[in-house]
Amino acid sequence: MRKNKYKFLLAASALVIASCTNLEVSETDSIITPTNADGTTFNGVENTESALDEAYNRIRSYWDTQENQYALSEVTTDEFIIPTRGTDWGDNGLWRVLHQHSWTFEHQFINNTWNNWNTLQLLATEIIDPKSSASVQQIAEAKFIRAYAQWYILDFWGIVPVRDLSLPPSVLPEVLDSQTAMENIIADLNAAISDLPSVSPGADTERANKAVARFMLAKVLLNKHIYTNSGSAATADMDQVISLVDAITDEGYALQEGYFDLFRNQANNETIFSTPASNGSRIWNTLHYNLANEVGEGGGWNGFSTLAEFYDLFEGDENLNTPGSGQEERRGAVPLKALDAGAEGTTDANNDGFADKTNVGFGFLIGQQYAVDGTALNDRNGAPLDFKRDFTDASGQLNLQNNSETTGIRVLKYHPRYGDFVPHQVLFRYADAYLMKAEAMMRNGSDITSMVNELRTLRGATALAAVTEADLLAERGRELYAEGWRRNDLIRFGQYTRDWVFKESTSVGNETKHLFPIPAAQLITNPNLVQNPGY
């Protein structure tokens, strides 16, 4: 048991917050505060190992959903869109406004994400506090976790509120500006690197180690010029990114063949940090109901799709993704029927002569979809289950709200063939570190063509004659799609506010969208917070 318990300081009030909408906000919410049962100031965590387990479990729970930070990181980009199909996925515009960049400070995913990461950073701070008497390694793990949480807060909102545990809970959290917050994050990560253990690839990837902290520090430094608004990356920062990735390489992490095997729950040399969050939402949020009925218990939610322009970043026929369509490995393929029973690593639970769930494609699902025996599947209305590139209504007009069941190319990186709700999601991967090093080298003036081509060759893509910034951003998209990095990448490369289908015209070129609004409820409960520009 921990000596301190989280107690919620409730505040109910109404005020008019100055914004582009002049919306009157009436909210009831809370500030999470560290207190003991008797209401006195925090006096330490009794069981620091249990507290650390709680922290890792919170990370798991944050990724165990398609909502909140995953939605903010992916659905606000060109990677994902969730159109309304009849009455499905309407949700009062909850998903549509993310893709359109028309969210407000009342959006529930924004508020949930704020609460989640602030709760986690406070828990980590409690473990670190000297009153908790944690071990050196426990403090190092907690410093990584605090940096991880504060990085999301900084990246999403540009500030970080922090609580001084030596002060009474009635004292509101101080708000750190981006420069100070970033310096604190870097300090925590450097301290963590010193005291965390080295772990070989394929060992325990669910707790912090040196490679995990180095990856996070490289990510922070790569984005440092964005947080400081300095215009361009500093040579010294990019040199450090290169050194950090080299240190990860020296520990044995490496690029690995078999792209989709990297997302199975098995040891490999690429996974640096993972969480036992269920990958179920990554499977079922994209599969059509009838295709899902063919493969497992997830039900199929027929929602998440990608834009045709993102699909077109990959090599291969733009209208077809069946085997042998000239596609690179990362684009996957749509099989014409299931594999025969007995195929390596498969089962045939119903003894129908076909390997279970192997009629579902990997990667990008476009065109006709098939049953295990090769029969063409239909949608619920009896029309061919033929996924289309564009999001159009019955009249053929682009429309985000009146789509059929089959509009949109689907994306499947975790596969039901390896389990319907497997507790495994990859968070940090060596290929990302490799491309971070390439980016740092490019920003320091080096030619990275051969380095990028090494990765492309491994993934079955043709070599590039040269690599520009646009090429590198595209390569990151091809390699890291659906892994939660697209928003961060687009901002760093200056492409987040460019136009794409269904984005509101007032949001195109509007760099205030680089940050999310501070939730209305938080402005009410903590007057130290100031709303971000544009909201």
Of the candidates 498, 480, 411, the residue with the CA atom closest to the CA atom of residue 439: 480
What one-letter code names the amino acid at 189? L
Q: Which two tokens stand for residue 72?
A: 């903010």
Provide the CATH number for the domain formed by 48-79+93-260+435-521 in this structure. Answer: 1.25.40.390
pLDDT at 15: 29
Residue 402 token pair: 């009146």
Q: Taking 70 as the threshold, does the pLDDT of residue 31 lie above it?
A: no
The pLDDT confidence band at residue 266, using thresholds 50, 70 and 90, is very high
The whole-angstrom separation of Cα 279 and Cα 277 is 6
- CA neighbor of 500 nearest in space, from 346, 306, 341: 306
pLDDT confidence of 25, banded at 50, 70, 90?
very low
Q: Where are the domains of the chain?
A: 48-79+93-260+435-521, 280-415
Contact status, residue 271 vs residue 391, Cβ threshold 8 Å: no
pLDDT tens per residue, range 275-306 = 999 999 999 999 999 988 877 666 789 999 99
d(CA 165, CA 243): 35
Q: What is the rounded average pLDDT of the residues 483-503?
A: 98
Rounded Cα gap, residues 118 and 160, in angstroms:
9
Conformational region of residue 125, where left means phi above 0, alpha means psi within -120 to 50, and beta covers everything else: alpha
Predicted local distance difference test score (pLDDT) of residue 421: 86
Distances (CA, A) of 286 to 1, 26, 300: 41, 35, 7
pLDDT greater than 90 at residue 3: no
- H-helix or E-strand containing 29? strand 24-36
Residue 427 has pLDDT above 70, yes or no: yes
> What is the Cα–Cα distance from 132 to 513, expressed in whole angstroms?
40
Q: Which residues pair with 144 in a beta bridge?
A: none
CB contact at 8 A, 425 and 435:
no
Residue 103's pLDDT band (boundaries 50, 70, 90)?
very high
**Which has more confidence, 85 or 103?**
103
Question: Residue 532's CB: how many other CB atoms inside 10 A?
Answer: 18
At residue 26, the 3 state secondary structure works out as strand
H/E segment holding residue 468 = none
pLDDT given for residue 1 in this prediction:
37
Q: Which residues contact 142 (CB under 8 A, 6 or more apart)?
A: 52, 55, 124, 125, 127, 128, 134
At 295 the pLDDT is 75
Q: Which of 65, 485, 56 is nearest to 282 (CA)?
A: 65
3-class DSSP state of 387: strand
Q: Which residue has the higher pLDDT, 153 or 169?
A: 153
pLDDT of 294 reads 78
Q: How far apart are CA 134 and CA 123, in angstroms?
A: 13
The single-letter code of the amino acid at 20 is C
- Name the token pair of 41: 């100031």
Greatest CA separation for the chain: 68
Specify the pLDDT at position 297.
Answer: 65
Amino acid identity of residue 74, one-letter, is E
Half-sphere exposure (Cβ direction) of 461: Cα atoms closer than 13 Å: 23
Helix (H) or strand (E) holding 176: strand 174-176
pLDDT of 413 higher than 60? yes
Closest residue by Cα to residue 81 from 408, 320, 506: 408
Q: What is the DSSP letter of 31?
A: E
On the question of pLDDT at 36 being above 90, the answer is no
CA neighbor of 171 nearest in space, from 41, 27, 64 = 41
Share above pLDDT 70 across residues of the chain, in percent, rounded to a whole number = 92
* Beta sheet of 362-365, edge-to-edge order: 332-333, 362-365, 410-412
- Express each pLDDT in 187-234 by its tens digit: 999 999 999 999 999 889 999 999 999 999 999 999 999 999 999 999
Tokens of 17: 């917050």
What is the reported pTM? 0.93
CA dist., res. 176 & res. 109, Å (int)? 23
Distance CA 48, CA 35 (A): 16
Three-state secondary-structure class, residue 496: coil
pLDDT of residue 39: 61
String of DSSP letters for 304-342? -BB-HHHHTTSSS-TT--STTSS--GGGEE--SSPPBTT
**pLDDT of 26 above 50:** no
Check pLDDT > 50 for residue 159.
yes
Q: Quick one: average pLDDT of 368-381? A: 95
Q: What is the mean pLDDT of residues 427-454?
A: 99
Q: What is the DSSP letter of 524?
A: H
Rounded Cα gap, residues 273 and 92, in angstroms: 35
Q: Residue 296: its pLDDT value, please?
A: 65
Q: Rounded distance, CA 336 to CA 438, Å?
A: 38
Instruction: Tell me the two tokens of residue 322.
Output: 């069946």
pLDDT at 12: 30
